[in-house]
Amino acid sequence: MRTYEVRTYGCQMNVHDSERLRGLLEDAGYVRAPEGDQADVVVFNTCAVRENADNKLYGNLGHLAPVKAKTPGMQIAVGGCLAQKDKASITKKAPWVDVVFGTHNIGSLPVLLERARVQEESQVEILESLEVFPSTLPTRRESPYSAWVSISVGCNNTCTFCIVPSLRGREKDRRPGDVLAEVEALVAEGVLEVTLLGQNVNSYGVEFGDRYAFGKLLRACGSIDGLERVRFTSPHPRDFTADVIEAMAETPNVMPSLHMPLQSGSDRVLKAMRRSYRRDRYLKIIEDVRAAMPDAAITTDIIVGFPGETEEDFQGTLDVVRQARFAGAFTFQYSKRPGTPAESMDDQVPRDVVQDRYERLVALQDEMAWEENKKIVGRSLEVLVAEGEGRKDAATHRLSGRARDNRLVHFALPGGVEAPRPGDVATVEVTYGAPHHLVADVFGSVRRTRAGDAWERAQESPPDAGTPGVMLGMPTIGAKPLEPAVGGCQIG
């Protein structure tokens, strides 16, 4: 049997796409290469958002060129956002690449690989618009207990720092019945937790004319028996409405966690970014969420050093961080993205200034997160146990998992207690709060779950040569053709 490896770069959407790629390859008869072994087929699922993303790709391709030359039958495929952007230039720069495919046609990968093998020449297929939701494709999930569920693809926003609008397409929404059918199928497989995924989940429903569709979808998830945790990413402050906050607060299995991208605390910079909200609107959302869910953990995205950002603008960002008291933040130093409006803006901020501001932002955010985590000491939390070993020190063996508010918890396992399985739920008491995690040295109890059973079965009967996954075929859910599309955006 031919083996495969998928290397993923970028956002949650790419992670989810890679699950589809693995499912397609296994459906076509490939098996996952054991860790450390050279795969017969190496697939790069690329991102075009980060600075020097192309250099990273071509560096990795260069490392594989001599390997391929010594390995008869080996194939290399490049997909994702960078493939969509660069198209045929990839095979010109790296002629040893066998297949190039775009964001809209991941389902073509097995056919393209076979065609390249038979014809002994590179195959490039880049569709300019999405034809069928990728959720109709088979999936090899990494986790038996947690899953992504795509509710929409593409985005109608035009943020000046983001290239992805031209790569992912305009927003296309799945019908609620299709989404719920996929969630129900996942729960039947043993999944306890789903994350509803979209470039802008709050605008879900725009295509079929229901501006309250996302709140209704959250409430509908609350009626699915066996579904214990519902999360979503990413919302957009412009479209975040009171009905969504009410749905979160009133639906028990919707978790008290929210990722709300800020990007900047300066109204002037937000306008230049073409972010259609201002700081007061943003802070009012945070206030309303905390009024409805006092224990909600709120995280964010922040860009430092956007063109034209002054020290006064940056101080505005720090002020919002102090007021919002985020549980965590993904912080980024602005860098030019070819093809974005911001690339040609005047007043690019010097790199040393950007670095200085970045360090000050990270220090403040760590301080805020640490203070918030200290407030949780002494509380009892339900932790969904995660895959893999937790932290170890000289005296204590720890496992790890996520609390309901999505905080990372490292918890002690007393001697003589049977270790909970990934997917089981442990009740623990927090004894220490660090900036980026919680420590629980007081162990309460374990609830064995169907998800833990599914993980255990996967260990006993691994489906392929590599890390166990879960295969889910969804041949009919959401399988409607889509209208042609142009545009799209990164999550966040």
In a domain, 479, yes or no: no
List of E strands, 23-71? 31-32, 41-46
Exposed / middle / buried, residue 269 (Cβ in 10 Å: 0-12, 13-18, 19+): buried
* The pLDDT value given to residue 264: 97
Q: Judge if 310 and 406 occupy the same domain.
A: no
Last residue of a domain, which of 358, 374, 390? 374
The verdict on 400 and 364 lying in the same domain is no
User: Residues 255, 152: one domain?
Assistant: yes
Residues 166 and 217 in one domain: yes
Which residue is it, tokens 């495919």?
101
Q: Name the strand (E) or helix (H) holding 266.
A: none
489 assigned ligand-binding residue: no
d(CA 406, CA 427): 15
Say how many domains are in the chain.
3
| Same domain as 416, residue 301 | no
Q: Is 159 annotated as a binding residue?
A: yes
Residue 159 to residue 145: CA distance in whole angstroms: 35
The span from the CA of 334 to the CA of 50, in Å, is 10
Nearest to 371 by CA among 419, 445, 321: 321
What pLDDT is attached to residue 186? 94
Let me know whether 45 and 182 are in one domain: no
**Final residue of a structural domain among 374, 392, 412:** 374
Please give the Cα distance from 300 to 333 (Å, whole number).
15
- How far CA 277 is from CA of 156, 157, 318, 467, in Å, comes to 15, 12, 18, 44
Report how far residue 260's alpha carbon sits from residue 329's, in angstroms, rounded to the nearest whole number: 10
Look at residue 235 and tell me if it is in a domain.
yes
Please check whether residues 99 and 213 belong to one and the same domain: no
How many other β-carbons are positioned within 10 Å of the β-carbon of residue 418?
8
CATH of residue 418: 2.40.50
Give domain status of residue 467, yes or no. no
- Token pair 């198209």 is found at 87
Same domain, yes or no, for 224 and 349? Answer: yes
Tokens (6 digits) for 420: 């909970």
Range(s) of the domain holding residue 22: 3-127
In a domain, 387, yes or no: yes
Residue 292 lies in a domain: yes
3-class secondary structure, 333? strand
- Report the CATH number at residue 299: 3.80.30.20
Say whether 162 counts as a known binding-site residue. Answer: yes
Indicate whether 342 and 202 sit together in one domain: yes
Let me know if residue 325 belongs to a domain.
Answer: yes
End-of-domain residue from the set 127, 151, 182: 127
Would you say residue 348 lies in a domain? yes
What pLDDT, on a 0 to 100 scale, did the predictor assign at position 462?
55
Please check whether residue 225 lies inside any domain of the structure: yes
Strand blocks (E) in 305-449: 328-333, 380-385, 398-403, 408-412, 425-429, 432-433, 438-440, 442-447
Q: Tens of pLDDT along the chain (492 residues)?
A: 899 999 988 777 788 888 989 999 999 999 999 988 999 999 999 887 766 677 788 899 999 999 999 999 999 999 988 888 888 789 999 999 999 998 888 889 999 999 999 999 999 988 876 666 666 778 888 888 999 999 988 888 889 998 776 677 778 899 999 999 999 999 999 999 999 998 889 899 988 889 999 999 999 999 999 999 999 988 999 989 999 999 999 999 999 999 999 999 999 999 999 999 999 999 999 999 999 999 999 999 999 999 999 999 999 999 999 999 999 999 999 988 877 899 889 899 999 999 999 999 999 999 999 999 999 999 999 999 997 655 555 456 789 999 999 999 999 988 888 889 999 999 999 999 999 999 999 999 999 999 999 888 888 765 544 444 554 433 322 222 222 222 223 334
155 belongs to an annotated ligand binding site: yes
- pTM, entire model: 0.84
Pair (409, 368) in one structural domain: no
Same domain, yes or no: 345 and 419 = no
